[in-house]
């Protein structure tokens, strides 16, 4: 699992060499889905880099004795755009709505004058990462010669699409960012800094969208004790090996 500095260095090297990559942003919701969705689990295994997008993942890493740093996917967008600008890489935005993509593209180009956004693609609500619509998007990425693709389709669609598209567009990097473009565009508000410092961003998101987030967090809390036990056993196994 990578932290932001390590990831940015690796991405810069790959982009400079014309090589693509995939980045997944692991949180507790993803862990819950990986356990019951084989395609999602396989897609994760095929990603080049994984960062800890949620504090529970960070806490579990500490318990396991292999600590990692918190690296939210939404906080990767701006530094990756800086890398793209420095290298003259062509950027594609995939996901959300046309309105969000237009606003997000304008905000990114205002912050990084000269940033080349070559594609803004808003898939349908019924998007299937293995279907015909996905094939058309992949063809568009080839046509526009995209080199850095921000994929905001939600899990598991974004990770499954990224893993598949990377094979077919090997020169492009695919970064799964969830609601990142909605935050950039202002269509969604990220939790205030004080909530993030207190590890309460999940509570803020639940207040913002209770119908969607309460069931999601309920599933996450149910698996947390079991994951804590697994992490503790991992730590004990490491101590015994030493």
pTM of this structure: 0.93
Residue 214 maps to a domain = no
Q: pLDDT tens-digit profile of 215-230?
A: 988 999 899 999 999 9
Residue 224 maps to a domain = no
For residue 241, name the pLDDT band (cuts at 50, 70, 90): low
Residue 148 maps to a domain = yes
CATH number for the domain harbouring residue 140: 3.40.50.10700
Query: d(Cα 84, Cα 147) in Å, to the nearest integer?
Result: 8
Residue 208 maps to a domain = no
Helix axis angle, 210-241 to 201-208, nearest 10°: 160
Residue 238 maps to a domain = no
Beta strands in the chain (DSSP E): 21-26, 49-52, 90-95, 116-121, 148-152, 173-176
Query: d(Cα 201, Cα 58) in Å, to the nearest integer?
Result: 14
Q: pLDDT tens-digit profile of 176-204?
A: 999 999 999 999 888 888 988 888 888 88
Q: Domain count of the chain? A: 1
Provide the 3-class DSSP secondary structure of residue 211: helix
Buried-exposed string 74-96: b where 16+ CB fall within 10 A, e elsewhere: bbbbeebbebbbeeebbbbbbbb
Q: pLDDT tens-digit profile of 128-182?
A: 999 999 999 999 999 999 999 999 999 999 999 999 999 999 999 999 999 999 9
Residue 218 maps to a domain = no
Residue 32 maps to a domain = yes
Residue 62 maps to a domain = yes
Domain range enclosing 127 = 4-196
């Amino acid at each position: 699992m990578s932290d932001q500095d390590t990831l940015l260095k690796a991405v810069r090297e790959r982009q400079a060499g014309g090589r693509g990559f995939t980045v997944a942003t692991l949180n507790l919701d993803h862990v819950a889905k990986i356990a019951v969705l084989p395609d999602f689990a396989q897609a994760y295994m095929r990603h080049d880099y994984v960062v800890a997008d949620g504090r529970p993942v960070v806490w579990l890493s500490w318990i396991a004795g292999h600590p990692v740093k918190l690296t939210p996917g939404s906080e990767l967008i701006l530094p990756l755009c800086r890398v793209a600008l420095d290298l003259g890489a062509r950027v594609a935005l995939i996901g959300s709505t046309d309105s969000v993509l237009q606003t997000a593209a304008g905000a990114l180009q205002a912050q990084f004058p000269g940033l080349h956004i070559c594609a803004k693609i808003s898939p349908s609500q019924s998007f299937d990462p293995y279907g015909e619509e996905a094939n058309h998007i992949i063809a568009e990425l080839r046509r526009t010669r995209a080199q850095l693709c921000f994929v905001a389709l939600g899990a598991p669609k974004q990770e499954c699409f990224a893993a598949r598209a990377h094979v077919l567009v090997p020169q492009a990097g695919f970064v799964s960012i969830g609601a990142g473009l909605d935050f950039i565009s202002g269509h969604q508000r990220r939790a205030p800094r004080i909530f993030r410092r207190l590890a309460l961003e999940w509570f803020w998101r639940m207040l913002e969208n209770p119908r969607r987030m309460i069931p999601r967090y309920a599933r996450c809390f149910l698996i947390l004790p079991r994951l804590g036990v697994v992490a503790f056993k991992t730590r004990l196994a490491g101590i015994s090996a030493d």
